[in-house]
Structure 1
Amino acid sequence: MGEILEQVTLLRQDEAVRHDSTRIVELVAQLGESGAEDVICRALEELAARLSHTERCYREGRTDDMRRSARSLIAISEQIGMQGLAQVAGDVTHCIDRGDRIALAATLARLLRIGERSLGEMWNIQDLRI
């Protein structure tokens, strides 16, 4: 028998977070600085909760609830200019709709990575003041 060589390649999953800063400017123009800050803080808290809920639904096999949670991520993300997060949440809903469990697992992992990075970036912006 021939020798079996195993080689494991670790893929670095590091992609840029897309954020539309014009949306923040629009919020400040509409609501004032403190109003925009309140909206952004509440949205970030809700995004963190929804990301956690989406993952929990996946683990528990509750795809209908998972789809609703991912759809809410889209709306909240768009409200504060987190276009990349909204796009990937949409990709998650498409995987659910197609019944593609393998793509769903990969896309959910991407959603969680981008969600974590997006939230961190937005909190940093909040720390610097709008």
Structure 2
Amino acid sequence: MQEVVTLAPREGARLDADRLDSLYSQLGPRGAENVVCRAMEELAYRLGHIDRLYCQADLAEMRRNTRALMAIADQIGMTGLTHVAKHVITCIDDTDETALAATLARLARYGERSLTAIWELQDLSI
């Protein structure tokens, strides 16, 4: 009899603190908080929207929204989320349905962790 192993993928969110510091230097605390809060809201929306597009099998629109998610994540220093989103686009471009499903699940997990991490890092309040 073989033992069944349950995998519980856990990876920490990678954030570029220098990117956030630069944003705060350029825009000041109030302006930077505004940008970060709006970006976080947009990222949360896009993560859900990308999942809905996947369920609808609208890969062209899913690719477009994933690229937009990358740009927003990059703006506020979410380097890990940007990296995972690139993998989603690669799976779409390669028409690898199995890898796309797995990578999209990773994007959702990583997105949630990234949003939580940046919230805790900046101690933002709306």
Q: Same fold (TM over 0.5)?
A: yes
Matches within 5 A, 1:87-126: 87-126=83-122
For 1:59 and 1:122, locate their aligned partners in 2 and report how far apart those are by CA, in whole Å: 28
Structure 1 partner of 2:17? 21
Query: Can you give the 5+ residue segments of structure 2 that lack an aligned partner in the other structure?
Result: none
For 2:15 and 2:22, locate their aligned partners in 1 and report how far apart those are by CA, in whole Å: 14
Q: What secondary structure is seen at the aligned counterpart in 1 of 2:15?
A: coil
Matches within 5 A, 1:1-130: 5=1, 7-127=3-123
| 1:12-55 Cα deviation digits (max 9, x unpaired) | 21112100000010001110111000000000000000000000
| 1:107-129 Cα deviation digits (max 9, x unpaired) | 00000000001011112223268
**Which stretches of structure 1, 4 residues or longer, exceed 2 Å deviation after superposition?**
5-8, 125-129
| 1:49-95 Cα deviation digits (max 9, x unpaired) | 00000000001111011101110111000000000000100110010
Tell which has more relative contact order, 1 or 2 (C-alpha 8 A, sep 6+): 2
For 1:70 and 1:8, locate their aligned partners in 2 and report how far apart those are by CA, in whole Å: 34
For 1:14 and 1:44, locate their aligned partners in 2 and report how far apart those are by CA, in whole Å: 21
For 1:6 and 1:69, locate their aligned partners in 2 and report how far apart those are by CA, in whole Å: 42
Q: Between the two proteins, what is the percent identity of the paired residues?
A: 52
Query: Can you give the 5+ residue segments of structure 1 that lack an aligned partner in the other structure?
Result: none
CA contact (8 A) 2:13 2:110 kept: yes
Kindly tell me the number of residue pairs found equivalent between the two proteins: 125
Post-superposition offset of 1:7: 4.2
Post-superposition offset of 1:6: 5.9
The residue type equivalent to 1:8 in the other structure is: V
